[in-house]
């Protein structure tokens, strides 16, 4: 024991603590949800490790978490017999390593209290939420498989630093002791604590236990008619479970309420916000599994960071196996969170085995379909909610057609674009909407790609389309050029850029205009030759165009050549 050290919190952790304490005052009780959730994770991790080393249980395999208030000491203690932490774990996880995404998160803070509070709501709060109600927190922990003398005590007042010291701890697992702030004493009330547990932690798969109230002995007495009423023995206080303690995904859909699904989402996703929608399915047949897939309401801060861990929680026959199993979702659906519980995979499955495995492939295929169907249904049923989804995740979904040939058409249905139909930047026009509005004789879906929405909207290439009342999709996201190079047709209609090649408006050019056009071409023949001469090698060709109504000239690319937007993209990366 001993060997006390003081460490400074990592800068981001310090900032996070400050912000959290100041912005979550209206929802203080979530500290208990976060700490119970960590205990459940710790139980999952121990169960997994014990699969290959049963000794880790050390005679105590009934994993649970206990919550106890002490009115005299003014403390709440949350105690588990999960995996515990070593000294190094404690230092790393409780103070010096910030969660992934923290840096991104801080770069978005404005300093404005109100909007920053909104932001923290989208960032997982976790362990540090203890400091919302406590002005001192002590963590006493011992890792499974270590000696009594290998315990560690972590102490902090949540300001600049924390201390760690080795202690003796007789039991495995972690105790979190919260020294409540003077004004937070209401949480010492057992009734209050119990209601918080059932509100947020009912679905946690290990029991959450609290001490029952002690019932005093009732001495023998005499009834009104002189008969003897025997004494009733005292009932001592004992630990009793207060939550359902049943893995939520194993229950029938009809037995699970929306609120339960939402709370469970927070546990599996480590997200503070709500899910936008979810799908819970039991799949039977050649591969058997249960999936519970969520689409979050808000995109994480680091969604575009390709190194960011993402993926589903994997269980095999109810036993937690791993977090962030990325093999079950294609990259363009990396925002999906949730879990899979397989009946077919072996309990000792590793990431390597998952890589190249028939079961994995079948589950991935099934889950991908599930998500696409869920989004398609939402798009048809609730345009407003779908728009929320699109604004958050549309950019990622646009990677789909390039990545997933098999589902290209289905993904294309989910896409939304800005369009000349309403001429504003909101991306809410689907390809099907477009097709419904196509002019008679029109056989292509027209689009323009530019650097910005303004540039797309004001592109001179659009003039003839506007004149003829033909709708054009206005694309200006970074990924759009990439998307369109993989999305060449939809519903048997070609997608055509208005900036490419000879524009053929097909049957929509009437004979009368054709004649007029030929006349103009003859008239300007000499102008064209002069331009060709003076531009020389700088251009491939100079042509008369009938696309423009107001602008004098525009640049186009050949059908086989790179588009002008792609050319700019290549130049920007130094090609
Ligand atoms: P998250 O749960 O999202 O990882 P937290 O801030 O809630 O983030 O917890 C940080 C880390 O501290 C956890 O990932 C885990 O490694 C460790 N930890 C927290 N509570 C416990 C506990 N009760 N038992 C074991 N480890 C824990
Ligand atoms: Mg946590």
What is the complex's ipTM, to 2 decimals?
0.99
Higher pLDDT, residue 176 or 34: 176
Cα–Cα dist 473/386, whole Å: 19
Nearest Cα residue to atom 10 of ligand 1? 93
pTM of full prediction above 0.90: no
Dist CA 350 CA 331 (whole Å):
20
* Ligand 1, atom 7, residue with closest C-alpha: 126
User: Ligand 1, from 9, 63, 92, 93: best to mutate by most atoms within 8 Å of Cβ?
Assistant: 93
Pocket lining: 80 vs ligand 1, CB cutoff 6 Å:
yes
Q: How far is the CA of 270 from the centre of ligand 2 (A)?
A: 6
Nearest CA to ligand 1 atom 19: 38
User: Are the C-beta atoms of residues 337 and 271 closer than 8 Å to each other?
Assistant: yes
Comparing 198-202, 268-272, 555-559, the range with the smallest average pLDDT is 555-559
pLDDT band, residue 75 (cuts 50/70/90):
very high
CA of 38 to the centre of ligand 2 (A): 5
Residue 315 has pLDDT above 70, yes or no: yes
Gap from CA of 154 to ligand 1 centroid (Å): 13
Cα–Cα distance, 341 to 354 (Å, whole number): 14
CA distance 503 to 500: 7
Burial of 82 (0-12, 13-18, 19+ CB in 10 A): buried
Q: Calculate how far, in angstroms, residue 220's C-alpha sits from the geometric centre of ligand 1.
A: 51
Q: Which residues of 179-207 are buried (b: 16+ CB within 10 A; e: fewer)?
A: bbbeebeebbebeebeebbeebbbbbbbb
Asked whether 36 lines ligand 1 (CB < 6 A), one says no
Mean pLDDT value across residues 68-72 = 97
Residue 23, SS3 per DSSP: helix
Taking alpha carbons only, the member of 37, 21, 80, 419 closest to residue 239 is 80
Mean pLDDT of 409-425: 96
State whether the beta carbon of 83 lies less than 6 angstroms from ligand 1.
yes
Mean pLDDT of 254-259: 94
20 lines ligand 1 (CB under 6 A): no
The predicted pLDDT at position 469 comes to 92
pLDDT, tens digit, 9 for 90 and up, residues 346-368: 888 888 888 888 999 999 999 99
Hey, whose CA ends up nearest to atom 18 of ligand 1? 38
User: On the CB side of 182, how many CA atoms lie within 13 Å of its CA?
Assistant: 0
Rounded CA gap, 50 and 460, in Å? Answer: 67
The verdict on the CB of residue 38 being under 6 Å from ligand 1 is yes
Measured distance CA(409)–CA(222) in Å, rounded: 83
**Element containing residue 44 per DSSP (H, E):** helix 30-52
Q: Is 378 helix (H, G, I), strand (E, B) or coil?
A: helix
Distance CA 30, CA 125 (A): 9
For ligand 1, whether the C-beta of 102 sits within 6 Å is no
Cα of 304 vs centre of ligand 2, distance in Å, is: 23
Q: For residues 396-408, give the mean pLDDT.
A: 95
3-state per-residue secondary structure call for 134-173: EEEEEEEEECCCCCHHHEEEEEECCCCEEEEEEECCCCCE
Q: How far is the CA of 118 from the centre of ligand 1 (A)?
A: 24
Q: How far is CA 388 from the centre of its chain?
A: 14
Count the Cβ atoms, other than its own, within 10 Å of residue 481: 20
- Residue 314's nearest CA partner among 328, 303, 294, 335 is 328
CA of 235 to the centre of ligand 1 (A): 36
Report the helix count and the strand count for the chain, using DSSP H and E: 20, 21
Residues 193-249 have pLDDT tens digits of 999 999 888 888 899 999 998 899 999 998 888 888 999 999 999 999 999 889 999
Percent of the chain at pLDDT exceeding 70: 89
Is the pLDDT confidence value at 497 over 60?
yes
- Is the CB–ligand 1 distance for residue 95 below 6 Å? no
- pLDDT digits 0-9 by tens, 457-486: 999 889 889 988 999 999 999 999 999 999
What is the sign of the dihedral through the CA atoms of 514, 517, 523 and 527? negative
Tell me which ligand sits closest to the C-alpha of residue 270. Answer: 1
> Quick one: what percent of the chain has pLDDT higher than 90?
63
Helices 11-23 and 113-120 sit at what angle, rounded to 10 degrees?
Answer: 110
């Amino acid at each position: 024991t001993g060997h006390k050290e003081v460490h400074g919190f990592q800068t981001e952790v310090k900032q996070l603590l400050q912000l959290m304490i100041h912005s979550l005052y209206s929802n203080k009780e979530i500290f208990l949800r976060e700490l119970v959730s960590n205990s459940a994770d710790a139980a999952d991790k121990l169960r997994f490790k014990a699969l290959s080393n049963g000794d880790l249980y050390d005679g105590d395999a009934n994993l649970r978490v206990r919550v106890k208030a002490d009115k005299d000491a003014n403390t709440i203690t949350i105690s588990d017999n999960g995996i515990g932490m070593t000294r190094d774990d404690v230092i790393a996880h409780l103070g010096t390593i910030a969660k992934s995404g923290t840096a991104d998160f801080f770069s978005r803070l404005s300093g404005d209290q109100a909007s920053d509070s909104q932001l923290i709501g989208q960032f997982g709060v976790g362990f540090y939420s203890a400091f919302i109600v406590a002005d001192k927190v002590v963590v006493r922990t011992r890792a499974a498989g270590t000696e009594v003398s290998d315990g560690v005590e972590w102490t902090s007042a949540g300001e600049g630093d924390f201390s760690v010291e080795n202690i003796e701890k007789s039991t495995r697992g972690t105790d979190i002791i919260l020294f409540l702030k003077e004004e937070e004493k209401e949480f010492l009330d057992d009734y209050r604590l119990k209601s918080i547990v059932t509100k947020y932690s009912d679905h946690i798969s290990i029991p959450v236990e609290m001490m029952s109230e002690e019932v005093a002995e009732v001495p023998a007495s005499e009834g009104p008619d002189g008969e003897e009423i025997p004494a009733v023995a005292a009932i001592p206080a004992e630990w009793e479970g207060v939550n359902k303690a049943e893995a939520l995904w194993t229950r029938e859909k009809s037995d699970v309420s929306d609120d339960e699904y939402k709370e469970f989402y927070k546990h599996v996703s480590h997200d503070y916000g709500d899910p936008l929608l979810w799908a819970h399915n039991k799949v039977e047949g050649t591969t058997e599994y249960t999936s519970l897939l969520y689409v979050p309401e808000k995109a994480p801060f680091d969604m575009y960071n390709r190194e960011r861990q993402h993926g589903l929680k994997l269980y095999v026959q109810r036993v937690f196996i791993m977090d962030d199993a990325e093999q079950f979702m294609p990259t363009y659906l990396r925002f999906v969170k949730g879990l899979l519980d397989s009946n077919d995979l072996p309990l000792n499955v590793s990431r390597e085995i998952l890589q190249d495995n028939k079961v994995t492939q079948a589950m991935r295929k099934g889950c991908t379909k599930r998500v696409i169907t869920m989004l398609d249904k939402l798009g048809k049923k609730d345009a407003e909610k779908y728009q929320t989804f699109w604004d958050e995740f549309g950019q990622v979904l646009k990677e789909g057609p390039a990545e997933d040939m098999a589902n290209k058409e289905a993904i294309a249905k989910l896409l939304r674009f800005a369009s000349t139909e309403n001429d504003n930047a909101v991306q809410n026009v689907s390809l099907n909407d477009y097709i419904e509005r196509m002019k008679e004789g029109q056989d292509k879906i027209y689009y323009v790609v530019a650097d910005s929405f303004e540039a797309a909207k004001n592109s001179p290439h659009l003039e003839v389309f506007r004149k003829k009342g033909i709708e054009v999709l206005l694309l200006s996201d970074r990924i759009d050029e990439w998307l369109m190079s993989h999305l060449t047709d939809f519903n048997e209609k070609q997608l055509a850029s208005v900036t490419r090649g000879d524009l053929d408006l097909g049957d929509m050019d009437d004979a009368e205009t054709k004649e007029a056009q030929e006349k103009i071409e003859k008239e300007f023949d000499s102008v064209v030759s002069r331009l060709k001469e003076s531009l020389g090698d700088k251009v491939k060709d100079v042509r008369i165009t009938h696309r423009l109504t107001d602008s004098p000239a525009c640049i186009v690319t050949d059908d086989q050549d790179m588009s002008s937007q792609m050319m700019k993209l290549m130049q920007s990366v130094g090609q």
